[in-house]
Structure 1
Amino acid sequence: MHAFAALLDSLTYTRSRNAKLKLIADYLRATPDPDRGWAMAALTGDLDLKGVKSAVIRGLIEERVDPVLFRMSRDYVGDTAETVALLWPEPTIPVDPTPLSITDVVERLAVLSRADAPGALADMLDRSDAEERFALLKMATGALRIGVSARLAKTALADAFGLDVDAVEEVWHGLDAPYPSLFAWAEGTGAQPTPADVPVFRPFMLAHGLEDLRVDLTDYAAEWKWDGIRVQIVHVAGETRLYSRTGDDVTGSFPEIAAAFRTPGTVDGELLVKGEHQGGTLEDGGGAASFNALQQRLGRKTVSAKMLAEYPAFVRLYDLLLDGQEDLRTLPWTERRKRLEAFVPQLDPERFDLSAVIEAEDFTALEAIRATSRDAAIEGVMLKRRDSPYIGGRRAGLWYKWKRDPLTADCVMMYAQRGSGRRSSYYSDYTFGCWTEDGELLPVGKAYSGITDEELKMLDSFVRNHTQNRFGPVREVEKTLVLEIAFDSLHDSKRHKSGVAMRFPRIARIRTDKPAAEADRIETLKRMIT
């Protein structure tokens, strides 16, 4: 456990991607099975110890430390695991001196009930030092937050053993932790695992931002960039799975899609929810509702009949990766498109349709079409090179995303909360509002991105010097600072008192030049709803 704890500590304080890759790779080469497999499961978010939740950890520490002291410390530190690791008292009775391994932790906690897990966890914390306690709690809750994505961890594994990361991705979801066959292949002592009979995830092909580039439409095809979530649907050997862009299995959240896709193959598309105008054409949005409607379905492990009826999901298809067992990814986009057009009629038209190609004479004409795309379900335009194969990751010159210009509004900062990770010492999460016609300020969104480190320090100083009230970790501030907020779209919301919800809000500018009274009105925002 000590080596894994040292790895997490180093990763937490390392910002360089290459340095993080080297740290993980060195650890995987030096650590024996099965510890390194469980470490990979933790780093990629595939480790789920159901008996350990945040409430359990809070209960354990509040039995040993003054609850008020714990809450004040948690507010200052900004992270529960780090706070508990530092506050955990030395045991009053002798404990087992045998060092804990990751395997000890996982194998013990994985089989315990929720009633027995707290006692076992407390015993492990007694046997650990502060650094090990931090790693243990992060691993047990599955909330590492150390700046390492699942893709980066798999890339580090590939780098460590000279493998192709896309080959690792292709077999990953067909394997179970601690991945003995994967490491046997990596070290040359076993054959490469095969995904032949398992609906495994293939890495998505991604796009670069278009920025100021102009392309020739004889070389590139244009499609709408729909505002849902990108999914890959795989049907193999009678089983269907849905994967998100990060490779997470989301089948359980959308059972009606999995049930409707029974044709052997693998497709790439956008998961959307049907809107009120289901008879619309593909060009004008095709009956897709805004992302706000889709959010009602996201993250649900079980979906009620009412939810299925109120927010019916469908998938707008972009690409065909496998047709049956035939891998099409090396074919040019034009060939895959023809195969996709022949594939789609086999599918349930209530659950699947085809994303249309935008017809435009040239790039100038496409610019004019894009300028009118303020539909709630359209996020922008995709440009795909007609001869491009389907390659995992971002490859220069093949696919571009041309997002529509953001909307903006001048809002007043109302509340601030400490961030997490390296921002845990700063008030970096800001709730902001706009005025009603009666002069009341109501919250319309929350943002933490878009600012530089210097601007973060300036806003943190403002919060500390202009606090009016405190509510746990949240501070209410004087309503004097205007923030220009950029956002992708605006939607009706019954959950917010203001009646509106922003999509992807971020801070565009700090408007120290503008009086708070001149910030935007909620009625102005409502006119932006599409």
Structure 2
Amino acid sequence: MRRFSELLDRLVLTPSRNGKLRLLTDYFAGVPDPDRGHALAALTGGLDFPSVKPAMLRALVMERMDEVLFAYSYDYVGDLAETISLVWPAPESVDEVEAPALGHVVETLSRVSRSDAPTVIAGLLDRLDPSARFALIKLATGGMRIGVSARLAKQALAALGGRDVGEIEELWHGLEQPYETLFAWLEGRAGKPESAARALFRPVMLAHPVGEGDLERLDPAEYVAEWKWDGIRVQAVSEGGVKRLYSRTGDDISGAFPDLVAAFGGDVALDGELLVGDPIVRTGSFSDLQQRLNRKTVSKRMLADYPVFMRCYDLLHWEGEDLRQRAFEERRAVLEKVVPALDRHRFDLSPLVAFSRWDELDGLRRDPPHPVIEGVMLKRRDAVYSPGRPKGPWFKWKRDPFIVDAVLMYAQRGHGKRSSYYSDYTFGVWAGAEDDLQLVPVGKAYFGFTDEELKLIDKYVRDNTVERFGPVRSVRAEPGHGLVLEVAFEGLNRSTRHKSGVAMRFPRISRLRWDKPAAEADRIETLTALLAE
């Protein structure tokens, strides 16, 4: 457990991706089975302990310290696991107690009942130092917000064994925890694991953004264009009677979209975009799709109100043949025969965009025919389907972001290294008559600024707080006094859940307008004018 807690501590404090990658690789190389396999499962979201809930942890710590003192501590720290790990009144002899192995902790939590969980967790916390307590709580609750994605963990495995990460991703869903056969293969002690699982994930091919000068070096005749729809990238796979739907990172999301999974079969692997609606009638916004995302169960009402469909881009496997090494045009020709045979209310073909010159396509990109389109994709006609992000075969050319000047309304403490700073910002624009202006919130952002700018905003928040709501501060925001934020965003949708009636897509802070009076920030009419009728 100590090695795992040391890993988490160092991952939290290491900002660079390459630094985190080295830490993970060294950990997997130096820690024996099965502990390293359990750590891998924790980092990739493969562990679930239903008997341990945050509310139970709060109740445990309330039994051991003053409730008000804990509330103040939690408000200051901003992270439940970190707060409990620091305030837990462990015995003075904790350093003399041998910490349990990670494997023992995982097995214990897997077996414990809901009624016994409080006693078991308290006993473990009593045996651990603050760092290991933090690791235990993160492990038990699944809250591994430490800047490590499942793909980064798989890339560390690839580095350990000198393999391509695509090999590991294709094997992943056929492996069993704690992954001892995987580590044996990576270390050269055994052959490559043979998975008997069906309908496995195939690593996706990604595109590079069109950069300055890229198009000047490309021949338009060598590329085809498709609309870039604003949904989520998915892969629908069916094999031997097994059907699965995967996210672009290889997570199995079949349970969240049973209506789509039920609508296809045979022997096929489709690549495309998941959208809300019916391709024959309407394509819904990303806000509509968000109603279906990250759900373990889906109600009949949700299935009826927000049906999903797949707009198909590519065909990776068909009737026993791997098509990925064929040219795009060849795969597309087969795809055009496959999609019409599928349920037309659940699957359709992504249309190609006719063009002959880059400036012609640029005009289409800037003014697409549908509000859910966020740009165009360029695909070289002879390109094979290569996992990862190879430079040259595929490009994405997104619409230019929208810009609006908004006023800071609320600020909340961040997590991890930002837990002492107010780094999550809610902002609004003006509504109402000129003599009775009111701010209505239109979005929330927590990135786009430098560390130095973060310190300046944090000081502004502390100096201009008018109300406090737990970890959230309400900031003075009036026509004559307020901090203006220049906000960039990718799109806008109508929303019945927000007072303003709009919801931003991918908002981020692009500039701090210390020079601009709050009264000169934009009005809600500026945003509603952007909405498609």
From 349, 362, 384, give the equivalent of 1:389: 384
SS in 2 for 1:60: helix
Alignment correspondent of 1:39: 39
Q: Letter of the aligned partner of 1:187 in structure 2?
A: E
From 262, 265, 280, give the equivalent of 1:262: 265
Instruction: Detail structure 1 runs of 4+ shifted over 4 Å in the superposition.
Output: 92-96
Q: Distance in 2 between matches of 1:364 and 1:147?
A: 40
Overall identity of the aligned pairs, in %: 57
Alignment correspondent of 2:203: 203
Q: Distance in 2 between matches of 1:84 and 1:107?
A: 22
Provide Cα deviations, 1:157-211, integer angstroms capped at 9, x if missing partner: 1111222211111011111211122122222333322345422212111111112
Is it true that 1:344 corresponds to 2:339 in the alignment? yes
Alignment correspondent of 1:190: 190
Alignment correspondent of 2:416: 421
Alignment correspondent of 2:18: 18
Q: Distance in 1 between matches of 2:362 and 2:317?
A: 33
From 298, 309, 325, give the equivalent of 1:314: 309
Q: Letter of the aligned partner of 2:254 in structure 1?
A: T
TM-score norm. by structure 1 comes to 0.95
TM-score norm. by structure 2 comes to 0.95
Q: Distance in 1 between matches of 2:23 and 2:493?
A: 43
Range that drifts further, 156-165 or 315-324:
156-165
CA contact (8 A) 2:158 2:164 kept: yes
Matches of residues 11-410 of structure 1 in structure 2 within 5 Å? Answer: 11-91=11-91, 97-195=97-195, 197-212=197-212, 213-214=214-215, 215-274=218-277, 279=280, 287-373=282-368, 375-410=370-405
How far is the alpha carbon of 1:279 from its aligned partner?
4.5
Q: Distance in 1 between matches of 2:309 and 2:269?
A: 16
Q: Distance in 1 between matches of 2:20 and 2:407?
A: 38
Alignment correspondent of 2:448: 450
Alignment correspondent of 2:483: 481
Decide whether aligned partners of structure 1 residues 462 and 98 sit closer, same or farther in structure 2, where only a CA change above 3 A counts.
closer
Decide whether aligned partners of structure 1 residues 412 and 107 sit closer, same or farther in structure 2, where only a CA change above 3 A counts.
same
Supply the RMSD in Å over aligned alpha carbons. Answer: 1.7
How far is the alpha carbon of 1:263 from its aligned partner?
2.2
Provide Cα deviations, 1:487-520, integer angstroms capped at 9, x if missing partner: 1111111111111111111112211222111211
Q: Distance in 2 between matches of 1:323 and 1:478?
A: 60
How far is the alpha carbon of 1:522 from its aligned partner?
1.4
Decide whether aligned partners of structure 1 residues 148 and 94 sit closer, same or farther in structure 2, where only a CA change above 3 A counts.
closer
Q: Letter of the aligned partner of 1:151 in structure 2?
A: R
How far is the alpha carbon of 1:527 from its aligned partner?
1.4
CA contact (8 A) 1:289 1:376 kept: no
Q: Distance in 2 between matches of 1:382 and 1:321?
A: 18
Decide whether aligned partners of structure 1 residues 268 and 24 sit closer, same or farther in structure 2, where only a CA change above 3 A counts.
same
Alignment correspondent of 1:284: none
Q: Distance in 2 between matches of 1:290 and 1:195?
A: 38
Q: Distance in 2 between matches of 1:195 and 1:346?
A: 30
SS in 2 for 1:188: coil
Is it true that 1:437 corresponds to 2:432 in the alignment? yes
Gaps of 5+ in 1: 281-286
CA contact (8 A) 1:263 1:347 kept: no
Q: Distance in 1 between matches of 2:51 and 2:195?
A: 31
Q: Distance in 1 between matches of 2:473 and 2:21?
A: 38
Q: Distance in 1 between matches of 2:418 and 2:403?
A: 25
Q: Distance in 1 between matches of 2:421 and 2:472?
A: 12
From 493, 496, 503, give the equivalent of 2:495: 493
How far is the alpha carbon of 1:93 from its aligned partner?
9.9
Gaps of 5+ in 2: none
Q: Letter of the aligned partner of 1:36 in structure 2?
A: R
